[in-house]
Amino acid sequence: MRIAVTGSSGLLGSALVRSLTADGHQVVRLVRRAPTEPDEVRWDPHAGTVDTAALGPVDAAVHLAGAGVGDKRWTAAYKRELHDSRVLGTAAVARALAGLKPTPRVLLSASGVGYYGDTGDREVDESFPAGSSFLAGLCVEWEAATAPAAEAGIRVVHLRTGLVLARSGGALGPMFPLVKAGLGGRLGSGRQYWSFISLADEIAAMRHALDHPDLAGPVNLTAPHPVTNAEVTKALGRALHRPTILPAPAFALRAVLGEFGAEILTGQRALPRALLTSGFTFTHPTITPAIAAALTN
């Protein structure tokens, strides 16, 4: 297949591109700068443009681009950047794909389990409604921005990804050095659920969604056994043979990180109902093997 990918330099995008090219697929990377490689095509998410002439026909597209949720303090300006990089960028990709002749068969578009808001101990799957937090509202708009592609008859899958476990980034990236130094601990009470997924399962799930026409709409990319933040921290400590007894108090997280600090004290107990129903098998369904895998990537 010929597959267009945005966000190809990020943790997920780079791993996906490696996986696709290793299997002989042709990947076209959409980049926000002037192209310097034969496999690159220019796009501008804020201007809403894609160089469709250079892009040409594609069989599928995977849209992963967006500003990092935890990269900066959530000022009003950065919240606008989070919104625009997702909603405007997704709309630009969806319009461009809808205008291609022939249209691609499928668009996988990033989203997140933040869609559900804070679920506490309640288990949620793809049938549950959106929450009321900033991230939940952002996910609603993000997913709605794919409408031009769906209206053009393209199968659209909303990848509601959980916390990706990888040593080089994702949810565990900042935790590894702290825990290794013996300075790790739960965040706040630690009772908030972390719907995690290993990097290998994340990429495999995206590949599965590309190939399975029965998958459309929201799909939770989370392992089938979510655990609490405290359990993740303990499992990481066991893997690194380090204590995890120094918690980060809730008031300190709120003081240092502002609104984002309050957000990470909440969680989602999300289950991958759609993936499991479609026949997907997880390599790392529980937290211990998922962290063991993360230590190697």
Domain harbouring 241, CATH code = 3.40.50.720
Look at 13-27, 54-68, 210-224, 261-275 and tell me which has the smallest mean pLDDT.
261-275
How big is the chain by its Cα radius of gyration, in Å?
A: 19
Give the mean pLDDT of 253-266: 70
* pLDDT over threshold 60, residue 253: no
- Return the pLDDT at 241: 87
Q: What is the pLDDT of residue 26?
A: 98
Percent of the chain with pLDDT over 90: 80
pLDDT at 282 over 60: yes
Strand partners, 6: 30, 63
Percent with pLDDT over 70 in the chain:
96
Give 256's pLDDT tier (boundaries 50, 70, 90).
low
Structurally, how many domains does the chain consist of? Answer: 1
What pLDDT score does 257 carry?
Answer: 61
Closest alpha carbon to 35 in 25, 43, 27, 46: 43
Please give the pLDDT value at position 139: 98
Name 266's Cβ contacts closer than 8 Å, sequence gap at least 6. 117, 118, 133, 192
Q: Give the residue, 245 or 191, on which the prediction is more confident.
A: 191
pTM above 0.85, yes or no: yes
Q: Which domain range does residue 9 map to? A: 2-294
pLDDT of residue 252: 58
Mean pLDDT of 234-246: 88
Q: What is the mean pLDDT of residues 225-236?
A: 94
Higher pLDDT, 162 or 252: 162
Q: Which amino acid is at 74?
A: W
Compute the average pLDDT of residues 127-146. 97
pLDDT at 251 over 70: no
pLDDT at 258 over 80: no
- The packing angle between helices 11-22 and 199-211, to 10°, is 60
Query: Which of 69-83, 133-147, 185-199, 243-257 has the lowest average pLDDT?
Result: 243-257
